[in-house]
Structure 1
Amino acid sequence: MEWTVPAAAHRLLDAENRREHLARFTDDWAELDLELAYRIQDETLARRLMRGEHIVGVKLGLTSRAKQERMGVDSPLTAWLTDAMVLGGGVPVPLDSLIHPRVEPEIVFVLGEPLAGPGVTATRALAAVESVHAGIEVIDSRYTGFRFRLADVVADNASSGRVVAGSLALQPRGLDLALEPCVLHVNGEVVHTATGAAVQGHPAEALALAANTLASRGITLEAGWCVYTGGLTDAVPLGAGDHIVAEFGHLGAVTVTGE
């Protein structure tokens, strides 16, 4: 096939709609680099908006040092969140609309004012935050076996699937988010533990990085948007009947079930 930005965006959205995984693009598209990948990501967003979805925020991927080392990069990536990706609290994850979902716990910021780079610091980023929440992201790669290179996953909107945020909303003032503990339970068993420091040393660093990275593409983080700052632990598979809880020290707990 002829590789173009529109063709790649079509293939990714078609795979998502059909629940069919694809071979990673970079196996046959040697010219696919990060610039092209973000253009594909933006094209898929434009098509989502045309079909009636609305932007609700952004998410970061590869925020942990371990994940960056595995992918051979030294910086996280950004991707889009729309209202179609948001699950309400207590709503089961619709497995019949996903390919091979996995779950990871995250710290979530909701912005009270716009945040635009460049030059945003973690302190400035936190000052723009209205509330902090516990969160879970359900990632779902469109590539076979969750196997991809960096440009592939950027094009695929960082394996976006579903997101859910806890109802408890706290102000960042007084919280030590670097030390905020998180325990991930799968069907009653503890499988992972972490603290907020797993995300760029502090989740506010991830938020600042998102603002500065998006500024290079002329994008401002808008008031009211949510920012999912990246997985605190490795992701775990989600199957029918699974009950997964992300329990935080101060931010409360978030639960997802597979149905």
Structure 2
Amino acid sequence: MADEMNVLVTLNAGYLPPLKVMLWSLHANNPAEKIHLWLVHAEMTPAEVASVEQLTTAFGWDLSNVKVTPDFVAQTPLIERYPQEMYFRLLCGQILPATVHRVIYLDPDIVVINEIRPLWELDLGGKMLAAAVHRGVTNLVDSVNKIRLGTTTSYFNSGVLVIDVDQAREKINAEDITATIEKYSDLLILPDQDILNFLYGNDILEIDEEVWNYDTRKYLIYQTRNLTQHDIHWVMQHTVLLHYCGTPKPWDASSDSKFTSLFLNYQQQVDRFVAAAEPVEEVES
């Protein structure tokens, strides 16, 4: 068996349902892989953690429940409207044990539809991170973000990251993040993602968005950009990570996109598994 892959998720309990769908899809399309899931959070209950462990145990994975201490949370930057957990991915070098050297970070609003190992084995070429850029038909949005943040690199999406944790321990700290937020808070639209690009953009290796961070809102844009070559058949064969960016989310009743049904199918599967595993209460005679 190939070496164990470290997968990092950082979230609050509100995103537990889509997380379970993501984990289910990851196992369904990588059934032979040994995964070590690092569940990093600030305030999940034992019952909520146990609901994740139910899946990891069934998959034969390892689970590390990492509850961030109140002292660490106190120094974590927090902008109103955004949960503090979004910063835990950037600060994973200070949170995870020294034995962890590399992780794949995944947002919970992702489904995995092909083999993820090539991402795990990616040569970072000395960079600290790998991430994708969500470009349109042109690079207009990318250019606007460069001007807004005063950066020279492309604008990377933080939903999928390969992280050299050893480098992150040396280069990323809460003090730098806090200072940047205090100085540029009026310019920050997506705080953790803006911070990622503003402070660490030069240390990021770009990966193919249509393979590793496919924005499900942009099917027609991808089609236009690739002269209709990357149709749904191409996506199902080549794309690995579908990212349900923006709103509505696929679990919302108002969602009706090309990729909504795929998410809902995985959701049905995991819900059926959980329901079947629930103990049946005995009826008194």
* TM-score interval for Structure 1 and Structure 2 normalised by the shorter chain: under 0.3
TM-score (norm 2): 0.26
TM-score (norm 1): 0.28
From the CA coordinates, give the structure whose radius of gyration is larger.
2
Which structure shows the higher strand fraction?
A: 1
Greater relative contact order (CA < 8 Å, ≥ 6 in sequence): 1
